Amino acid sequence: MSVDRRDFLKLGITLAAGTMVGPAGFALSNVSSHANKTNSNDSLINKWGMVIDIDKCAPNCNSCVDACRKENNIPDFSNPELDIHWIRKVKFKQKHVPEPTERSLPAMCFHCEDPPCAHVCPVEATFIRKDGIVLVDKHRCIGCRYCMVACPYKARSFVSKHVNPENANNPDVPVRMHGVVEKCNFCVHRIDVGKDPACVEACHANGGGGMQFGKFNQNDNGILKVVRGGKAQQLRADLGTNPKVYYVGI
């Protein structure tokens, strides 16, 4: 009996120690690997990103949002509290000044380089693809909604009603079942076959053409050139999430 007990205690203590040391070690290694990453200045190379010139973005233009809804079969629940938004037009005015002008910009998931949503996901349903796109694996999402609480940009929506796939508009994009969280995925099914995301395409076709999509490639004179110029800025850069969507002219 006493031997049993000793073994048992040993096991218990090892287990307890393991549960504490393991996570702590992981967390530390995360932080240290991150330290290396931020020291190098090319962590964005070969990642997808976007630059949006909001001087070209008219406050009443909604082409990108409409295109997204159509392309990605976003359901209409007709209830502003429950409705799903992958991309939305945000209108903004300067605070603390008299009579500020109202302007607007499209906001979506910014595909952060250090995405809080992916960090808090208990099952790694939200993850970062090698090309920098932050995706939700709806086959794995358990619907705990921690990511919605953690995302600083309100980019995520929960599917709170049933959606019938038979009524979907675009047969190539699956609808999402009740109980999972979804968000913008840069139209991953389109960029994988060489097309631009639906919003960018619509912006150039019907809108002001302020959206520019591409990879932060060194030999490219696309978005990297704009970002290099230093006039493009991220939203809430102070949080350190390092979004891959930049705005010019805020």
Stretch that binds ligand SF4, among 27-35, 65-73, 99-107, 147-155 (CB under 6 A): 147-155
Size of the site for another protein (CB under 8 A): 91
Maximum Cα–Cα distance for the chain, whole Å? Answer: 82
Residue 18 CA: distances (Å) to CA of 7, 12, 26, 63? 16, 10, 12, 53
With b for 16 or more beta-carbon neighbours within 10 A and e for fewer, the 228-246 pattern comes to eeeebebbeeeeebbbbbb
> Which of 43, 58, 70, 150 is close enough to bind another protein by CB under 8 A?
150
Q: Structure tokens of 204?
A: 């150039």
Chain residues 36-65 in contact with another protein, contact rule CB under 8 A: none
**Residues 151-190 vs another protein: string with x where CB under 8 A?**
xxxx-xxxxxxx--xx-x-xxxxxxxxxxxx------xx-
- Between CA 54 and CA 65 the distance in angstroms is 15
Tell me phi and psi for residue 127, to 5 degrees.
-145, 170
Q: Choose the contact partner of 197 out of ligand SF4, another protein, none; CB within 5 to 8 A by kind.
A: none
Q: Choose the contact partner of 111 out of another protein, ligand SF4, none; CB within 5 to 8 A by kind.
A: ligand SF4
5 is a contact residue toward another protein (CB under 8 A): yes
Minimum distance from residue 204 beta carbon to another protein (Å):
22
Q: Crossing angle for the helix pair 198-206 and 63-71, nearest 10 degrees?
A: 140
Chain residues 154-193 in contact with ligand SF4, contact rule CB under 6 A: 155-156, 183
Stretch that binds ligand SF4, among 41-49, 98-106, 112-120, 214-222 (CB under 6 A): 112-120
> Which of 49, 75, 115, 132 is close enough to bind ligand SF4 by CB under 6 A?
115
153 is a contact residue toward ligand SF4 (CB under 6 A): yes
110 is a contact residue toward ligand SF4 (CB under 6 A): yes
Q: 104 in helix, strand or coil?
A: strand
Strands annotated E in 143-241: 157-158, 181-182, 211-215, 232-233
Q: Choose the contact partner of 175 out of another protein, ligand SF4, none; CB within 5 to 8 A by kind.
A: another protein
> Which residue is associated with the tokens 């962590």?
43
